[in-house]
Amino acid sequence: MSGDFLPVSRDDMARRGWDELDFIFVSGDAYVDHPSFGPAIITRLLESHGYRVGIIPQPDWHNLRDFGRLGRPRLGFLVSAGNMDSLLNKFTAAKKQRHQDAYSPGGEGGHRPERATVVYCNCLRALYSDVPIIIGGIEASLRRLAHYDYWSDSVQPSILAASGADLLIFGMGERAMIDIAANLQQGVPVAAIQDVPGTCYRVPEASYIWDEPGKPGHIVLPSFAAVCADKRQFAEAFKTEYLEQDALRGRRLVQQTGDICVVQNQPARPLTEAEMDAVYDLPYQRTWHPMYDAAGGVPAIKEVQFSLVSQRGCFGGCHFCAIISHEGRVIQRRSHASILREARLLTQLPGFKGYIHDVGGPTANFRRPSCDEQLKRGTCRGKPCLSPEPCQHLIADHSDYIKLLRELRALPGVKKVFVRSGLRFDYMLLAHDDFLTELCKYHVSGQLKIAPEHITDRVTRLMGKSNRATYLEFVRRFTATNERLGLKQYLVPYFMSSHPGATLADAIELAEFLHEMGYHPQQVQDFIPTPGTLSTCMYYTGLNPLTGEKVYTAKSYMEKKMQRALMQYWLPANRPLVEKALHIAHRTDLIGWGPKCLLHPQKHGAGNQHPGRHTGTEEKPGASRRHAASRSGRPPTKRKADSNHRKVRKNR
């Protein structure tokens, strides 16, 4: 028996007395029945509305019979590549194949094809040519219109056209899915379902589109052929898509793609608090299907099994992030009662040891809309809420979040509540409350992860992030708060290399900053141009689509390697790249024995020396850096750290 998991086989259907399913969900992920997994939410939601739903997880795309194992659905197939874009899941920023997949049994790679949504739809069409196919999930959502594909280095058409699906759901999908299901249940042909917010549909050409009288008409985007031929037209199309991404004021978008016309409706309205509660109160099993026990389960659940989702959406506006295009800028939150119910449930689960690992969402400390006007008239068109500069109407308030965390801490069986999902430190600085004190005192375990991403003001502006001065002010306040509390806690900042706008000189400036602050990041991120982000548009076109300004982007393999190596300049293996970068940029002043130097001169037989690894009786210029580290909120550099870096590299 599979307990209360949804059917994955004919035997499961028979045990429920079902000979037919209403919907069959084909997923690129292994079956994990947990509310952090999109397929689980959609299938449980349909089940709660009375539909019979089955799941085909990670089908063998080499064998069409695997797609027919649950038979022909009465209403339609639902297809998703899973919780990640299938190409991002399979390839690194350097386009090297990953050998592990956290969303597969045992973490083993190779259980899903590249461009999984398209492959699955082609297989289903070959078996059931007349059954409606609805695609969704992050891969479909961010590829809903013409987009740049980093892995093929080309502009690709809407995935709706490439897959041959009938409808595409973008965004989180709950509202759209229930509306589509109701239409199909009432006998409406799938080709006639054209008015559901949060969906894309297909018609032969724009003349087939009907605009409701009294409402703004649709916007015609440059065609797929036009955006392929002209990067400026690509940037213009993206700008329109980006600025119309709002459920209240956004307009319908139309793009001709070969012999079909893709129509994107308005985004779906944000869920109300009661609707969010209903989604997370569904009867999830909160673990992987038992068929994966022999493989050791599905690793992805470990990060979320004892965590709580408190909200959705983000008004932070990071240009390299797809949340705005997927979840939107308007914050949607659950009630305290719903979150506390789930927390009590967690305390009863096997393996719970008293620690709630996270309470948050895309940005943990956003528990309210950035301003009250958003719920009345939508988000401001082309005006950021928080960064690079905060809007004068922004309301920075943690009071509700503080209250929630206090309630969770007071639950029987809960020893500690951590906050580990994204935190906006610039938002914390704007709030006049006790959140930073509460955070340091109760919700950090030695280290707090934050993401300044870069420190050159020009680059942070292109990233949509706050500037260097803002970050340093947060470091000062964090350090002062911990000193006042008598705690030794440290910041773990994340930085990104090769973002559009970042030159080799900017990368060197970042390395100098890391040196001055005493930071030794063990993990660094090279920018990956994923579909649907503003930064990806800049990467491909060389233009900021919002301003029209030209943007330099490091694209050569060597420059990207040098920018990445500079963030870990102290590693012996990185010395040749760092030294080459310093010579190219005419910054050989950073090779020497001075306190600001990144590298020591290389002596015959001395190995790859650098400030931070010293030998003999020489003066230790790194001492000033270690003093800076203690002021910056990072532990002093130790020799042991260098051996740890070597171990990390060896393990990689």
More confident residue, 551 or 619: 551
- Per-residue pLDDT at 175: 97
Report the distance separating Cα 592 and Cα 56, nearest Å.
61
Q: Is the pLDDT of residue 337 over 90?
A: yes
So where are the chain's domains? 10-202, 481-652
- Closest by CA position to 329, among listed 248, 221, 237: 248
Dihedral sign (CA 549, 317, 449, 396): positive
Q: Is the pLDDT of residue 485 over 90?
A: yes
Summarize the confidence of residues 41-65 as an average pLDDT: 97
CA angle 149, 154, 160 (to 5 degrees): 60
Task: Summarize pLDDT for 109-122 with one digit per residue, the tens.
Answer: 999 999 999 999 99
β-bridge mates for residue 53, sequence order: 23
- Per-residue pLDDT at 648: 35
Q: Is the pLDDT of residue 600 over 70?
A: yes
Distances (CA, A) of 151 to 116, 148, 559, 589: 14, 9, 18, 38
Report the distance separating Cα 194 and Cα 180, nearest Å.
10
Other Cβ atoms closer than 10 A to 598: 25
- Per-residue pLDDT at 182: 98
- Closest by CA position to 331, among listed 293, 386, 250, 255: 386
Task: Summarize pLDDT for 174-228 with one digit per residue, the tens.
Answer: 999 999 999 999 999 999 999 999 999 999 999 899 888 877 889 999 999 999 9
Report the distance separating Cα 125 and Cα 395, nearest Å.
50
Report the distance separating Cα 610 and Cα 600, nearest Å.
5
- Per-residue pLDDT at 604: 53
- Per-residue pLDDT at 123: 98
Pairing of β 76-80 and β 199-203? unpaired
Helix (H) or strand (E) holding 54: strand 53-57
- Per-residue pLDDT at 616: 31
- Per-residue pLDDT at 613: 41
DSSP symbols for 424-480: -HHHHHH--SSHHHHHHHHS-BSEEEEEEE---HHHHHHHT---HHHHHHHHHHHHH
Summarize the confidence of residues 242-250 as an average pLDDT: 94
Pairing of β 199-203 and β 167-169? antiparallel
Tell me if 54 sits within 8 A of 70, measured CB to CB.
Answer: yes
- Per-residue pLDDT at 216: 81
Dihedral sign (CA 600, 604, 608, 609): negative
Task: Summarize pLDDT for 461-482 with one digit per residue, the tens.
Answer: 999 999 999 999 999 999 999 9
Q: Is the pLDDT of residue 645 over 80?
A: no
Q: Is the pLDDT of residue 338 over 70?
A: yes
- Per-residue pLDDT at 609: 52
Report the distance separating Cα 314 and Cα 214, nearest Å.
31
Report the distance separating Cα 80 and Cα 86, nearest Å.
10
More confident residue, 396 or 628: 396
Summarize the confidence of residues 391-400 as an average pLDDT: 95
Quickly state the pLDDT bin for 387 (edges 50, 70, 90).
confident
- Out of 182-186, 449-453, 623-627, pick the least confident: 623-627
Contacts of 218 (CB under 8 A, 6+ apart): 206, 209, 211, 251, 252, 253, 254, 263
| Percent of all residues in the chain with a pLDDT value above 90, rounded to a whole number | 86
- Mean residue pLDDT of the chain comes to 91
Dihedral (Cα; 591, 592, 594, 600), 10-degree rounding: 90
Tell me if 28 sits within 8 A of 112, measured CB to CB.
Answer: yes
Helix (H) or strand (E) holding 253: strand 253-257
Strand order in the sheet with 490-497: 447-453, 490-497, 525-526
What's the distance, CA 51 to chain centroid? 30
Task: Summarize pLDDT for 21-46 with one digit per residue, the tens.
Answer: 999 999 999 999 999 999 999 999 99
- What end-to-end distance do the CA atoms of the chain give, in Å? 40
| Percent of all residues in the chain with a pLDDT value above 70, rounded to a whole number | 92
Q: Is the pLDDT of residue 2 over 80?
A: no
Is residue 200 classed as helix, strand or coil in its secondary structure? strand
Report the distance separating Cα 264 and Cα 233, nearest Å.
18
Task: Summarize pLDDT for 405-432 with one digit per residue, the tens.
Answer: 999 999 999 999 999 888 999 999 999 9
Other Cβ atoms closer than 10 A to 154: 10
Report the distance separating Cα 209 and Cα 621, nearest Å.
70
Tell me if 280 sits within 8 A of 307, measured CB to CB.
Answer: no
Summarize the confidence of residues 50-77 as an average pLDDT: 97
- Closest by CA position to 478, among listed 610, 332, 645, 632: 632
Pairing of β 32-33 and β 287-288? antiparallel
Residue type, 124: L
Report the distance separating Cα 162 and Cα 5, nearest Å.
32
Is residue 491 classed as helix, strand or coil in its secondary structure? strand
Summarize the confidence of residues 293-311 as an average pLDDT: 96
β-bridge mates for residue 23, sequence order: 53, 76
Dihedral sign (CA 77, 82, 83, 88): negative
- Closest by CA position to 30, among listed 265, 299, 355: 299
- Per-residue pLDDT at 633: 38
Q: Is the pLDDT of residue 629 over 60?
A: no
Unique residue bearing structure tokens 């927390």: 343
- Per-residue pLDDT at 522: 84
Q: Is the pLDDT of residue 444 over 50?
A: yes
Q: Is the pLDDT of residue 569 over 70?
A: yes
Length of the chain: 652
Task: Summarize pLDDT for 506-553 with one digit per residue, the tens.
Answer: 999 999 999 999 999 888 899 999 999 999 999 999 999 999 999 999
Summarize the confidence of residues 109-136 as an average pLDDT: 97
Q: Specify the CATH number of the domain 10-202.
A: 3.40.50.2300
Report the predicted TM-score, pTM, of the whole model to 2 decimal places: 0.89
Contacts of 313 (CB under 8 A, 6+ apart): 270, 323, 327, 328, 329, 330, 331, 332, 361, 362, 366
Tell me if 496 sits within 8 A of 525, measured CB to CB.
Answer: yes
Task: Summarize pLDDT for 170-185 with one digit per residue, the tens.
Answer: 999 999 999 999 999 9
Residue 179, both tokens:
């509306």
Quickly state the pLDDT bin for 642 (edges 50, 70, 90).
very low
Other Cβ atoms closer than 10 A to 433: 14
- Per-residue pLDDT at 632: 37
Dihedral sign (CA 371, 372, 374, 377): negative
- Per-residue pLDDT at 32: 98
Report the distance separating Cα 53 and Cα 339, nearest Å.
27
Peptide bond preceding 388 in cis form (omega within 30 of 0): yes
β-bridge mates for residue 56, sequence order: 26
Q: Is the pLDDT of residue 630 over 50?
A: no
Q: CB burial class (10 A; 0-12, 13-18, 19+) of residue 354?
A: exposed
- Per-residue pLDDT at 247: 93
